[in-house]
Amino acid sequence: MALVLVPLAEGFEDLEAITITDLLRRAQIEVITAGLKPGPVRGSRGTIVVPDMSLDEALGNKFDMIVLPGGQPGATNLEKDSRIGKLLQEMSANNKVTAAICAAPKVLATAGLLDGKQATSYPGSVSATEFPAVKLSDSPVVVDGNIVTSRGPGTAMDFTLTLIELLAGANVARHVEQALQRP
């Protein structure tokens, strides 16, 4: 079974973090939510989440994928955490999937993972001026190799269904989507 890390920083986008965690678990994918520090984490809309463990505790695992929720100041807090940057580099070097939504693709760009790649983000989060080597798209979800990016809260379901397809296959993704009763 695949193992996915969803790191939670103060100010994460509530809808994205919960949607990602919920849908991956519906697909029977093991998810570890990890706070940058021990204890509850408050989202950008005030939702308080108790992560499964702290990031330091989680780092002892071998993850198949890391998924960064956006939100502000959550994405900036992820970007400033050296453990996240190091983990992204390691996962990329080992051909593991790195994924980010909303403002969090900037974390991937700062780590150098988006150079020469096509990616999307919340408008203005990843700018062509600051990151000229990134091929910016306005698509809701972009997959380029082992990197998956998405635009924002409104694309969280499509983003996560794409992640499920990558980890568990199209049939599992379709099954999860059908159970959601999406139009």
Is the pTM here over 0.85, yes or no?
A: yes
User: In this predicted model, what pLDDT tens digit does every residue of 15-42 receive, in sequence order?
Assistant: 999 999 999 999 999 999 999 999 999 9
Positions annotated as catalytic residues are 102
Contact 171/113 with Cβ under 8 angstroms? Answer: no
The residues that bridge with 48 in the sheet, in sequence order, are: 42
Q: What is the 3-state secondary structure (H, E, C) of 59-84?
A: CCCCCCEEEECCCCCHHHHHHHCHHH
**Residue 21: its pLDDT value, please?**
98
Q: Is the pLDDT of residue 63 over 90?
A: yes
Checking if the pLDDT of 1 tops 90, the result is no
Query: What is the number of other CB atoms lying within 10 angstroms of the CB of residue 97?
Result: 21
Q: Which domains are delineated in the chain?
A: 3-176 (3.40.50.880)
Nearest to 81 by CA among 115, 37, 124: 37
